[in-house]
Amino acid sequence: MKTYIFIPDTDKNAGLGHLFRCLKYSNFIKKPHKIIFLINKDFNKSFLIDKNLNKRKINFIFFTNLKKTLHNLKFSNKNAISFLDSYNRSLQNFSFKDFSKKHINILDFKMKFKSDYAIDHTFKRKITYYTNSDKIAVGIKNFPIFKKLSILKRDFILINFGSVNDKLLIHKSLNFLEKIKLDKIFKIIIISKNASRKNFLNIELKNKIIFHKFVKDIDKIYQRTFFSFGACGISLYDRCYYNIPSICKCLAKNQDFNFKNFLSNGCILDFDRVIKLKVNESDEKRFFFKNILKIKKNIYKNFDYKKNKKHLTAFFKKINDN
């Protein structure tokens, strides 16, 4: 039996994407192997789940000193495989191989890393992006999609910009939706830890809004989302696998490549351009919805969960057997 130790960046300055991506990769670990997540002691525990999609128990260990915690784990977990998901350079330079038999880095941003292997699921990333290309698996097939994605009636419009200060972005999104004059069937789902319902009391669409600080099972929302407003981070990939057209804003340096690549391949719409459209005029409104359908067709062609599941199942078998 092996122990898989995941170290997502759960520092207060990090977003939630690192944690959720690691949880998705943990779905590919089968019995009887053990799963441990090392979490910063100050992290909000309400974001954590007891079991992954494979119904495997996840053991959370909360640390103050990562090195000391790994040292203690070393003696009771002789066959450990560690996974790091972080942009933190000091963590990237940490010698995880002193505490595990094998160390794997989860990347979507060019960094120097000390590991046996690395995974970069970035859309349209070329292997030549990395100098040590023999140690890295590159491409969209490495994104962790585990289960078949069921689609329900598309009656939600989602606004979710992640962990940034998003009040102004949400207001701009809502102002655009007001101009469209939405059909009665649509509800607007806002997910924001920085905004609150009172910030939108003067919005004409306030009765259509369902507000969440956080959603544990966001798949249930994705199943019903017609289109969305959001950033270009990890959640953009999830939305694409659910065939959700996204109106995107690049909100961090590590999202720049995604924004340019998705946009040039017709897989997102540019937020700044979209909100300037005069969709209260019938021609521009038709133009907007025509583009939404184009995006939907393009992401359907590029994102196939079956390929990912097959590839990652083989990948985890390989690192487990070797």
pLDDT digits (tens, 9 = 90+) for 117-166: 889 999 998 888 877 667 888 999 999 987 766 777 899 999 999 988 99
User: What confidence score (pLDDT) does residue 148 get?
Assistant: 65
Contacts within 8 Å (CB) and 24+ apart, 200-209: 200/170, 200/171, 200/174, 203/171, 203/174, 203/178, 204/178, 205/174, 205/177, 205/178, 208/182, 209/174
Beta bridge partners of 83: 6, 104
- Measured in residues, the chain has a length of 322
Q: Is the pLDDT of residue 230 over 70?
A: yes
Q: Is the pLDDT of residue 238 over 80?
A: yes
Mean pLDDT of 35-60: 90
* Chain-centre distance for alpha carbon 217: 13
User: What confidence score (pLDDT) does residue 133 get?
Assistant: 65
Mean pLDDT of 274-302: 92
Share above pLDDT 70 across residues of the chain, in percent, rounded to a whole number: 99
Find which of 3-7, 85-89, 108-112, 210-214 is predicted with most confidence, using mean pLDDT: 3-7
pLDDT digits (tens, 9 = 90+) for 17-35: 899 999 999 999 988 899 9
User: What confidence score (pLDDT) does residue 84 get?
Assistant: 95
With cut-offs at 50, 70 and 90, classify the pLDDT of residue 59.
very high
pTM of this prediction exceeds 0.75: yes
- 18 closest CA partner among 2, 37, 36: 37
Q: Is the pLDDT of residue 244 over 90?
A: yes
pLDDT digits (tens, 9 = 90+) for 258-267: 999 999 999 9
Q: How far apart are CA 182 and CA 69, in angstroms?
A: 52
What is the average pLDDT score of the chain? 90
| Domains delineated in the chain | 3-144 (3.40.50.11190), 156-302 (3.40.50.2000)
With cut-offs at 50, 70 and 90, classify the pLDDT of residue 108.
confident
